[in-house]
Chain A
Amino acid sequence: MRRWWSKMRPWMTGRATIDNDLAEEVRSHVEMETDAFMERGMTPEAARAAAGRHFGNATAVTEHAHEAWTFGAFESLIKDIRYGFRAMRRSPAFSLVVILTFALGVGVNTAIFSVVNAVLIKPLPYPDSERLVLLREANAKSDFSVTWGNFNYWRDGNRSFEEMAAFQGFGGTLTGRGDAVTTFGLTVTAPYYTLYGMHPLLGRLLGPQDDLPGAPALIVLSHKFWQSQFGGDPKIVGATLTIDGKPYQVAGVAAPLWTLGRTDYYLSLGKIMGKPTSRGQHRSIGGIGRLKPGVTLAAARTDLDAIMRHLAEIDPGPEGDHHSHAEFLTEVMVGDVRGTLLVLMGAAALILLIACANVTSLLVARSSARTAELALRKAIGAGQFRLVRQLLTENVTIALAGGAAGVLFAFCGLKILAGMAPRSIPRLAETHIDPAVLLFACAITLSAGLLAGLAPVLAVRRIDLSVALKESARVAGVGKGRQSLRSMLVVAEVAITLVLAFGSGLLLRSLAAAQHTDPGFDTARLLSFTLDLPKQSYGSREAIRQFYGRLTDDLRRAPGVADVGAAHCPPPMGDCGDWFYSVPERPNPPRDQVPISLFNMADPGYFRMMRIPMRQGREFSDTDRAGGSKLVVINETVARKWWPNEPAVGHQIKSGGPYQEGDLLEIVGVAGDVRQYGRDAESEPEIYQPSAQNVDSSATILVRATGDPSKLMPAIRARVAALDRNLPLRRFDTMESALGAGLARRRFSTLLLTLFAGLAMLLAAVGVYGLLNYWVTSREPEIAVRLALGASPARILRWTSFHALRLTIVGVAIGAVGGWFAARLLSDMVFGIPAHSPATMAMAAVAVVTLAFVSAALPSWRAARVDAAHRLHQG
């Protein structure tokens, strides 16, 4: 404490006393030494000089002695920072450019990092979420649901999991409480609640006793559903809800829980499934488990696979070649956005590099101008280390100011980003600036500041006092080394800019390609909506078929409607169910290589209405009845796989493949491929069954309008309501907007990368301008001499432009190589063009060279207008 106070005191009482004492002490020391030299017979002048020499650097001595009294390093840091601020104020334009450049670099990185942090880094909001694993079955070709039988063996036999639960999607119509609503629930086994860390807000959650067959039918409401559907009714517990005609008693309301999809309520899966019977019945059940601490995913897989192998021996059958499939929940949720976000993060890092290059270049230019000042300070006793530290502190101070502005940028940028981000990126909406993000911003600011500040500082160490003090500041700065450093920086900036321009060019062209792909059908004036007929009112196949028949007839007669069709799963709905199939006339494939296709259902008007061309045969007609022989239309992809050189019509395929039960289906037609997953997806194998032979309570109705399709929406609602007032219309949208929504993520990443490329271009333009401007300034005397010797201004213009061009070409060459490698990282996001597209590279290169030329124009023009006479007189 005393030691500490003795250090603090000079701060309180002023350091003046100590400094005065020290200064006087040094003076008296030198005088005494002078006396001593005079005693040895020197003249007073010689003695004084000798004593001064002998004493050494008085400033340094007092400085060091003083530091004993203070938090030396700390105090001089404060001094350096204060000096840094003073330097900033002295050249506000320079400081502003540097701060803005840093702010741009740090801002972009902070914004993107906060997204990466929210989406990829932060653990999911469940207890020990990093140990949560999704469990499925798989064979050699793909992974699929786990059967109730196998799940129970896994749960009871494994040694790797603390807990394991099964879940299954559940859709149903809630009736008896106002309008009918389509709801989406989950049927789960009891451990599901603990795995997700759920708590009851009202009542209770379900436990193991509720999972037994014969237990009362209970329902747990999600917080959101309770709020939206029941207005947060506090007396809901105990009430009875009717879903698909069945009563469920409300057991409780769950506390708010973050989920990726919509979950309205939870039902007991164990009660519905009962005792496991056959191992082979797949019912779209998924498993979730929490690994015991220290157990790896691979070990857990091996554990479950051993169970499967044992089961294959004692209970052989279609499940015999299946093994377990386990993936971390986090990976399943964010795995597919990781690539996009990392590419954006990489692009942001490149922008920071350009920003650093620009700032370095500026700082080098300025420290050249400050050589004289620095040389003077060195001469009057500032130590090498002290000078270096002071310059570094100055640079880092200005970087920190830029970083602070950058965080502000990021804050505003995030608001915009969250607004335009596609909802398919999980947790993006929760992005905000938190301590981790601030720490990141600090870290990159400091490293950027040090990186940018280092080069000019290293130059200080080489200052030659005798030269620097004699020459004028400007001349001293024009070292060949510095010019070449700045030239290298510009080359690097041009190269990085080209990489970004190339990348954004690839994405822009991919987006354009995706927007202009032929989806395989005519999207014009098309509307679609999905209906789910509740089982209690539409119990029989006949009732369902009648309803859809009446609805399509009604709609067809409505004014403004050109045509109507229905399908189970039209594009871009993607995968609504795939299944094994085989071609009986070909040899049976091995068990793990049975082909899989999407199975869809289409009504007799579907292909005509969608304007999907029939390549062979015919489409379904009204005469394809339930009792007749089973028919299918396959798409071109399937036809090409099995019958590339002959008509497919007349051949047969078997649903379910050789090892599962299924009907023999006769091919009556081959339809053109459609992009089932959206505009930027490739076509998949697809098999259509006639609606009359494969009745499904859920169907999507498509309506082609004669005019603006959105104007038809109220009339369509009215027609559906006229048939059944209790039917909610889902996914009611125009086809154009549904297809556009599928491109949301592509549009998002393209927009951001293009924005980044734009920023890079802006920074590179400033960099080229700055370098050439400085180059011209330092060569003014030379230019003046050339002009005086008869060079025309046009020639000077060519000379300076050539200088800029040379650097740009080198940068473009390096950037082209870099871009070629970077294209590999982008290949997943590129669509419709090759990732290594020379045309795109050429366009990017032209853009960058043009940019460099434009930014070089002003300095070149200035060079051509140097007043030779004036400059030569001056020089």
Chain B
Amino acid sequence: MSTVDGPSERIEFLQGTLEVLILRSLQAGPNHAYGIGQFLEQQSGNEFVVDNGSLYPALQRLLQRKWVVAQWKMSPNARRARYYRLTPLGRDQLVEEQSKWRRFVEAMSRVLTPEG
């Protein structure tokens, strides 16, 4: 049930990565689900597929863990939208996850890059 009929070579999300990416996208400021999706697709150079079937449950899980809070606000083009904002708890979590991901990426590239 993919939302995008786009090229199939685009990257699927790894398990659990979407939640970090959402937290990262909210670092720039509160945003709504549509905006988060747009942000992630653009920032990844259209490499990521943001499936609403994954995005919405992930947002609900973040709400549950109190890493984000949601609030109904008016958008710049005068639409009522539900804005998600990072909580202090979510900010801590993001820092932690970022360092974890950096270590992971470094380790991966060390393994994958053939030694000179």
Contacts and interface: CB of A to CB of B under 8 A. Distances in A.
Contacts of A736: none
B32 A65 contact: no
B83 to A, nearest CB: 10
A130 interface: no
A68 B54 CA distance: 11
A55 interface: yes
Q: Is the interface of B mostly helix, strand, loop or mixed?
A: mixed
Interface stretch (B1-9, B22-30, B96-104, B106-114): B1-9
Contact of A31 (B1, B35, B79): B79
A65 B59 contact: yes
Contacts of A28: 32, 34, 79-82
Interface in A61-116: 61-62, 64-69
B64 A69 contact: yes
A69 B63 CA distance: 10
Contacts of B61: 68
A6 B57 contact: no
B53 interface: yes
A32 B34 contact: yes
Nearest to B37: A29
A617 to B, nearest CB: 97
Contacts of A542: none
A22 interface: yes
A588 interface: no
B52 interface: yes
A7 B35 CA distance: 27
B42 interface: no
A56 B56 contact: no
A25 interface: yes
B3 A56 contact: yes
A67 B54 CA distance: 12
Contact of A65 (B3, B35, B57, B80): B57
A66 B63 CA distance: 12
Nearest to A66: B60
Nearest to A383: B1
A60 B57 CA distance: 11
Nearest to A25: B82
Nearest to B62: A68
Contacts of B79: 28, 31-32, 35
Nearest to B51: A56
A529 B81 CA distance: 100
Contacts of B53: 56-57, 60-61, 64
Most buried by A among B33, B52, B64: B52
B3 A33 contact: no
Contact of B1 (A35, A56, A65, A68): A56
Nearest to B64: A6
A578 interface: no
Nearest to B75: A32
A21 B60 CA distance: 11
Contacts of B33: 25, 29
Contact of B2 (A29, A31, A56): A56
A121 to B, nearest CB: 46
Contacts of B57: 64-65, 67-68
A68 B60 contact: yes
6 contacts: A25-B33, A25-B56, A28-B79, A29-B34, A56-B2, A61-B53
Interface of B: 1-4, 32-35, 51-53, 56-57, 59-61, 64, 70, 75, 77, 79-82
Complex A-B, nearest 9 residue pairs according to Cβ-Cβ distance, in ascending order: A68-B60, A65-B56, A56-B3, A29-B34, A32-B34, A25-B82, A68-B57, A65-B57, A64-B57
